[in-house]
Amino acid sequence: MVFSRFLPKNPEFIQMFAQSAKNAHETAKALADLMDNYTDVETKVRKIRDLEHAGDKITHDLTNALTTTFVTPFDRDDIMLLASRLDDLVDSIEEAARRMWLYRMPAPTPEAKKLAHIIQGQTAAMADTMHMLIDARHSDQLRQVVRTVTSLEDDGDKILDEVLSKLYDGVNDIKGVISSIRWGELYQYLEDATDRAQDVAYTIEGILLKNA
């Protein structure tokens, strides 16, 4: 990766990406806390919504910076794509949390907790390394993050497949059907968040490959 030796590093962009990744991790931690300590649900969901709004602002600031900057640390389209992917990740976490409150879900299942902690693990890996994005010395570490996030996404797929396969076991009335439908929707939102984290990781990988 030679580009970092010749182009301005534009720390403003990297700092904002680091902020965005950190905000995504804070959102994921708030979701895991909601699942692990299922009290004051509305308050905790509101906190997650506030973090989602904070993420929107970071994305907006990134977009504005892009329109006023002549030389960028890497391709403009990749900057927009990475900003969008991070925003989508936070949005998906917020959607999952909102469903917990809207549907007045009972105590989270072990599977829901596992999925929330997978998301937390994915975002932790990215938050710890996003500031290294244009530093060639850390390209191997960033590639390891991509592998970690992808492996965790695979774990999420397995959990989703297993829980959906038995979702309607023992259901024999309309109330049970409605509950199962809602849980199924929630599991899908949680697994979608693991997919969105993988999208971020793949975008990082693409940036590394294009600028190697």
Look at residue 99 and tell me if it is in a domain. Answer: yes
Beta carbons of 17 and 128 less than 8 angstroms apart: no
Q: Is residue 49 part of a domain?
A: yes
Structure tokens at 92: 């998906």
- For residue 3, what pLDDT is reported? 41
Exposure string of 129-138, with b = 16+ CB inside 10 Å and e = fewer, is bbbbbbeeeb
Phi-psi region of 10 (alpha: psi -120 to 50; beta: other; left: phi over 0): left
Is 85 among the domain residues?
A: yes
CB 149 within 8 A of CB 126: yes
State residue 9's pLDDT score: 54
The helix (run of H) or strand (run of E) holding residue 140 is helix 139-165
Conformational region of residue 37, where left means phi above 0, alpha means psi within -120 to 50, and beta covers everything else: beta
Q: Which CATH number fits the domain that encloses residue 183?
A: 1.20.58.220
Mean pLDDT of the chain: 91
Residue 107 is assigned to a structural domain of this protein: yes
Q: Is the pLDDT of residue 7 over 60?
A: no
Asked which of 91-95, 108-112, 167-171 is least confident by mean pLDDT, the reply is: 167-171
Task: Output the CA torsion sign for 21, 59, 90, 136.
Answer: negative
Give how many domains the chain has, as a whole number: 1
- DSSP label of 129: T
Percentage above 70 pLDDT, the chain: 94
Q: Are 80 and 66 in contact (CB under 8 A)?
A: yes
pLDDT, residue 10, reads 61
Cβ atoms < 10 Å from Cβ of 211 = 19
Q: Per the domain annotation, does 104 fall within a domain?
A: yes
Nearest to 13 by CA among 56, 60, 65, 53: 65
Q: What domain range is 169 assigned to?
A: 10-210
- Is the residue at 45 inside a domain? yes
Supply the pLDDT for residue 73. 78
Confidence band for 5, pLDDT divided at 50, 70 and 90: very low
Is 181 part of any domain?
yes
What does the pLDDT look like over 150-194, one tens digit per residue?
999 999 999 999 999 999 988 889 998 999 999 999 999 999 999
157 in any annotated domain: yes
CA-CA distance, 181 to 165, in Å (whole number)?
A: 13
pLDDT for res 13: 86
Q: Is the pTM of this model over 0.95?
A: no
Other CB atoms within a 10 A radius of the CB of residue 48 amount to 26
